[in-house]
Amino acid sequence: MNAIISASRLAGDLAGPNPPVVLDIRWQLGGPNLRHAYAEAHIPGAAYVDLDTELAAPAGAAGRHPLPDPEVFGRAMRAAGVSADRDVVVYDGGLGWAAARAWWLLRWTGHPSVRVLDGGFAAWSGPVEDGRRDVAAGTFVPAPGAVPLLDADGAASLARTGLLLDARAAERYRGDVEPIDRVGGHIPGAVSAPTTGNVAESGCFRPAGELADRFKSLGADGTSEVGVYCGSGVSGAHEVLALAVAGIPAALYVGSWSEWSQDDGRPVATGPDPQ
């Protein structure tokens, strides 16, 4: 199954006999959450999920958006109507980062059929509804470990032996600026691959062939394992999603730079080159 779905295809599926569960993951870095935007207008039938409290554990030594407790995540997914035997479509405001985080977590915990709305809510031209949506509880029980996950040591090793992509903006990778974390720069050996290169001006993903060419030019030639990190495991999930669209499996380092940079014992590289 394709990892993304167009707005027109989603509209058709929602009108069909077996509509997917739809999750609204609209979010903004630094908060507050966008539950109010959901209440004003959302895709009919969608349930709201808060990234900061339901798709991540509290910030700390493991980064700004650590993996959520499986019980917390599972409870949130069931409350939103998610079951393992029913397709799920996730969307956010259009950037794709938050939706990709939900997509990745559902895949990591074993859901077999999850897609991201390409272009997000901004691409949706169908009917909307307002207010809070009450949905029938689902039965999904998370089973973590279904897709690859990296920790700090694994990311460092992959940067030496395979391909580790840094999904942040190039200036943060170089260490020119660091607006969020305590240290600027990148994991030694990592290759700069900003998420902005994954999307067209429309806000939708570039075609699969173009994405495959992009990642091949960065070193994803099919001979090495691929991993991704970002600031805190959100935009990195978007990069893993883009790689999936291109047909390239990749692991996510969820702690990402927000975890890596907290430890003075971990090396930091600066400048435009990986080393």
Question: How many beta carbons lie within 10 A of that of residue 95, not counting itself?
Answer: 21
For 66, the token pair is 């650590």
Average pLDDT, the chain: 96
Please say if 204 is a catalytic residue. no
DSSP letters spanning 103-164: HHHHHHTT-S-EEEETTGGGG--S--B-SPPP-----------SS-EE-HHHHHHHHHHSEE
Instruction: Identify the CATH class of 4-123.
Output: alpha beta
For 255, the token pair is 């702690």
Token pair 């090495």 is at which residue? Answer: 224
On whether the pTM is more than 0.95, the answer is yes
Give the pLDDT of residue 32: 82
By the 10 Å C-beta count (0-12 exposed, 13-18 middle, 19+ buried), 131 is classed as: exposed
Quick check: 133 pLDDT over 80?
no
Q: Fold identical between 4-123 and 149-260?
A: yes
* 226 Cβ contact list (under 8 Å, min separation 6): 162, 163, 164, 165, 215, 220, 243, 248, 249, 250, 251
Q: Which CATH number fits domain 149-260: 3.40.710.10, 3.20.20.80, 1.10.10.10, 3.40.250.10?
A: 3.40.250.10
Question: How many beta carbons lie within 10 A of that of residue 163, not counting itself?
Answer: 24
Question: How many beta carbons lie within 10 A of that of residue 247, not counting itself?
Answer: 13
Mind listing the pLDDT tens digit for each residue in 103-118? Answer: 999 999 999 999 999 9
Quick check: 206 pLDDT over 80?
yes
Rounded to whole angstroms, how far apart are CA atoms 141 and 236? Answer: 25
Token pair 């960065």 is at which residue? Answer: 218
> CA dist 89 to 85, 127, 129, 210, Å?
13, 16, 17, 24
Quick check: 1 pLDDT over 80?
no
Give the pLDDT of residue 253: 98
Domain assignments of the chain as residue spans, ordered by start: 4-123, 149-260
Mean of pLDDT values over 128-155: 95
The one catalytic residue in 230, 243, 245, 250 is 230
> CA dist 5 to 12, 117, 204, 245, Å?
11, 5, 10, 11
- Could you tell me the pLDDT band of residue 132, with boundaries at 50, 70 and 90? confident
Mind listing the pLDDT tens digit for each residue in 48-104? Answer: 999 999 999 999 999 999 999 999 999 999 999 999 999 999 999 998 999 999 999
Mind listing the pLDDT tens digit for each residue in 172-187? Answer: 999 999 999 999 999 9
Mean of pLDDT values over 20-26: 98
